[in-house]
Amino acid sequence: MSEEAAAISSAAPSVAPSETRHVPGEGGIWVLIGGDLVLFSVLFIVFLTMRAEQLPLFEQGRAQLNQGWGLVNTLLMLSSSWFVATAIRAARLQLAGVVARCFGAALACGAGFVVVKFFEYGEKISAGLTLTTNDFFMLYFIYTGIHLIHVTIGMGVLTFLVSYSRSGGFTGDKMRNLESGASFWHLVDLLWIVLFALLYLLGGA
């Protein structure tokens, strides 16, 4: 894919500003994204409030998480978003083969995320850490579980986009559909970055 990727990079500056400065995707996807952001904002506020009230417990819980697993999943999500962004750029250049392969690579990253998360869950459960252990692990399992559902839905979207993009012709509604799917996946990535910071990294008072 290296020659085609170079073509994408070299051709990108020639795209007119009027073609790139627009809200990607359909309006409906942004209603969904906005609703999800509101929901997770509430969840994040709940986490921070409970953490402030039970700081020693939450610090102890954070120390029991495997930051290695969290980092691997963060790298997978960031890589998947890069592949999705590259797919959209390739679609604007009508490079159908690159688009399908990039969406496929993003899908593979998503599958890797799910595998890592199940290994991580297994590690916690084997150590006796479950949803009912304490408030930290209750929120950990609920929040990461909700995010995992989003990842699974997003993988379904990516699976569709792989097939949908093979025929090319990325104009009008087809391009908007690709952008809608890509926007949802970027949301999934963003939510994980915040979760990773809150659950695995946030320390101190």
DSSP 72-105: HHHHHHHHHHHHHHHHHHHHHTT-HHHHHHHHHH
Contact 66, 106 (CB under 8 A): no
Could you tell me the two tokens for 62? 């954070």
Which pLDDT score, from 0 to 100, does residue 171 have?
86
Q: What is the mean pLDDT of residues 13-17?
A: 43
Rounded Cα distance, 115 and 76, in Å: 11
- At residue 167 the predicted structure's pLDDT band, cuts being 50, 70 and 90, is confident
Owner of token pair 């997978």: 76
Give the model confidence (pLDDT) of 134-152 as tens digits.
Answer: 999 999 999 999 999 999 9
**Which DSSP symbol is given to 171?**
-
**Domain over 25-201 is classified CATH 3.40.50.300:** no
- At residue 12 the predicted structure's pLDDT band, cuts being 50, 70 and 90, is very low
Residue 16 has pLDDT above 50, yes or no: no
- Rounded (5°) CA angle 123-73-110: 110
Which pLDDT score, from 0 to 100, does residue 205 have?
55
What is the average pLDDT value for the chain, to the nearest integer?
89
Give the model confidence (pLDDT) of 65-124 as tens digits.
Answer: 999 999 999 999 999 999 999 999 999 998 989 999 999 999 999 999 999 999 999 999
Which pLDDT score, from 0 to 100, does residue 40 have?
95
Residue 25 has pLDDT above 70, yes or no: no
* Residue 157: Cβ within 10 Å count: 19
Q: What is the mean pLDDT of residues 167-187?
A: 91
Amino acid at the residue 130: T
Residue from 191, 196, 194, 185 nearest 83 by CA: 185
Which pLDDT score, from 0 to 100, does residue 78 have?
97
Which pLDDT score, from 0 to 100, does residue 69 have?
96
Lowest mean pLDDT among 73-77, 131-135, 166-170: 166-170
Residue from 68, 73, 163, 178 nearest 116 by CA: 73
